[in-house]
Amino acid sequence: MTRDGVPIELGGRSFDLLVALIEQPGRIIPKRELVRRVWPDVSVEEVALRFHMTRLRKALDDGHDGRRLITTQVGVGYGFVGVVTRAEARAFPPQSKDVRPKITLPSRSDRLIGRETELRALGEHAAGVGLLTISGPAGAGKTALAVEIAHDLGPGFADGATFVDLAAVPSPDMLIPAVATALGLMAAANSSISVVLDYLRDRRLLLILDTVEHLIEATASLCELIIATAPNVQILATSRQPLRARNERVHRLAPHTPSAAIELFTHHVSTAGGLVDALGNDVPAIAELCRQLDGLALPIEIAAIRAATHGIDATSKMLGDHLSLFWPGRRTAAPHQQTLKASLDWSFDLLSVAEREVLGRVSALNATFSLETAFAAVSDVPLDRATLAATLDDLTDKSLILVDAGLYRCPEMIRLYACEHARALEALRSPCATALSNRVN
């Protein structure tokens, strides 16, 4: 090792310490982690760490002329804050044998029902694709699936898997700090994109960006930068809408099959303390209920929790009433998943005025409708056919409308919600009220 061409004397342990620090520039590395790293086979006191840190600082002339290379966070650890540039490309940073991939993921679902096909296919696709996005409607089970995939694949990445929950990140300017924090980088609140990219550059890591639809543009840009900079980082994103980023592979998550939906419902009734005859009399009612809920995991879970106390018949009868939007789900669910209303508020808040207007109108239509029918439904709005078609495409992209063979369909609970919304705004009183009362009756 040299400085300005002059060799620097540095003992083996101090050198190991330096390597450990500059592998993760900007990150405060806890003392214990450094001790484990530098003395993998023997147990040493913290004083040994302090001793070698002092030698290292001296050798680097740290602190001279106000220059800071290593920072101390009292009681926590040390971090390298100098600029690190790599002279030659290395595949991966060296790792001592005892350092296991760091996996920071939410725990798996107690039981993931169905999804065997997706797990198999996406497990294979995830390898070698820069960005894999699982997209689909609110509560379809995107996060549950991504977490499961990450648990399966994470250990295969030398630098493990990092999960970033973006649901609570309110604005795009908080995206980079949130990712930096999840990666354990120092001074995360002020982290710039370059800190994140420098950290990821030589890593082999699975990065899960969960719930990104409200930060869609910022996330798309970030993913493109990561893919261009860090060829061994694999991104798995979940979103109600595809990112439409370069190198993205989108998997549109299908609703649960009828049999998986029944199993899901039965499972949640049982875990909520209810009784269900899953093999006999209850099956037709459960199947119909799951059909009305479009095979979506979250609505099924919420209805099942309701059925555990009110029974399946009463739950079926109430489904479609606006009160069903307020049925409480799991207490520990994320705020935007506590009720169906909360989950759809989240989607609705992200819509443009035109998208809301169109969704409000088409929610009053019959189950499936054509572009022509939709055009007639918005005839009193200054919207030409091309704009309407584009708006319907946007709503489809955002998983609020489904399209099949040229016909559109609004899922039941979204119809109910959009009707309620339109009615509340008094934008479309009579058609919505009629459609709603027809369905309730």
Site residues (vs ligand ADP, CB under 6 A): 109, 111-115, 136, 138-144, 238, 264, 297-298, 301, 330, 333, 337
* Residue placing its CB nearer to Mg ion in the complex, 143 or 234: 143
* Pick from 262, 274, 271: nearest CA to 308: 274
Nearest distance from residue 1's CB to ligand ADP, in Å?
A: 49
Task: Please identify, using beta-carbon distances, which residue of 142 and 268 lies nearer to Mg ion.
Answer: 142
Residue 314 structure tokens: 């009463």
CB of 376 to ligand ADP, least distance (A): 33
DSSP string, 274-324: ----TTTTTHHHHHHHHHHTTT-HHHHHHHHHHHHHH-HHHHHHHBTBGGG
108 vs 385, beta carbon nearer ligand ADP: 108
Determine the size of the site formed for Mg ion (CB under 5 A): 3
Query: Which of 328, 254, 319, 325 minimizes the C-alpha distance to 285?
Result: 319
For residues 242 and 279, give the distance between their C-alpha atoms in angstroms, rounded to a whole number: 38
C-alpha span between 204 and 284 (Å, rounded): 49
114 makes contact, choosing from ligand ADP, Mg ion, none, with CB < 5 to 8 Å by partner type, with: ligand ADP
DSSP 339-403: SHHHHHHHHHHTS-HHHHHHHHHHTTS-SEE-HHHHHHHTTTSS--HHHHHHHHHHHHHTTSSEE
The stretch among 149-157, 207-215, 344-352, 397-405 that binds Mg ion (CB under 5 A) is 207-215
**How far is Cα 25 from Cα 92, in angstroms, rounded to an integer?**
15
Nearer to ligand ADP, 143 or 339 (CB): 143
239 contributes a contact to Mg ion by CB under 5 A = no
Choice between 149 and 312, CB closer to ligand ADP: 149
Q: In the complex with Mg ion, which residue's Cβ is closer, 199 or 346?
A: 346
Which of Mg ion, ligand ADP, none does residue 115 bind (CB under 5 to 8 Å by kind)? Answer: ligand ADP
| Rounded CA separation 138/329 (Å) | 14
Segment near Mg ion (CB under 5 A); pick from 75-83, 130-138, 204-212, 338-346: 204-212
In the list 135, 143, 219, 391, the residue contacting Mg ion (rule: CB under 5 A) is 143
Contacts with 133 (C-beta within 8 Å, 6 or more apart), sequence order? 236, 237, 238, 239, 242, 243, 248, 249, 250, 251
Q: Restricting to residues 113-142, which ones interact with Mg ion according to CB under 5 A?
A: 142
Alpha-carbon dihedral sign for residues 166, 170, 175, 181: negative
Instruction: In whole angstroms, give the CA distance from residue 207 to residue 175.
Output: 14
Tokens of 289: 């209920």
CB of 113 vs ligand ADP, minimal distance in Å: 4
* Closest by Cα among 270, 178, 181 to 218: 178
Q: Of all residues in this chain, which one has the CB nearest to ligand ADP in the complex?
A: 141
Q: Considering beta carbons, is residue 16 or 213 the nearer one to ligand ADP?
A: 213
109 binds, among Mg ion, ligand ADP, none (CB under 5 to 8 A by kind): ligand ADP
Closer Cβ to ligand ADP, 324 or 337, answer by number: 337
Query: CB under 5 to 8 A by kind: which of ligand ADP, Mg ion, none does 360 bind?
Result: none
Supply the minimum distance, in Å, between the C-beta of residue 354 and Mg ion: 26
- Which one of ligand ADP, Mg ion, none is in contact with 301 (Cβ closer than 5 to 8 A by kind)? ligand ADP
Sites of contact with Mg ion (CB under 5 A): 142-143, 211
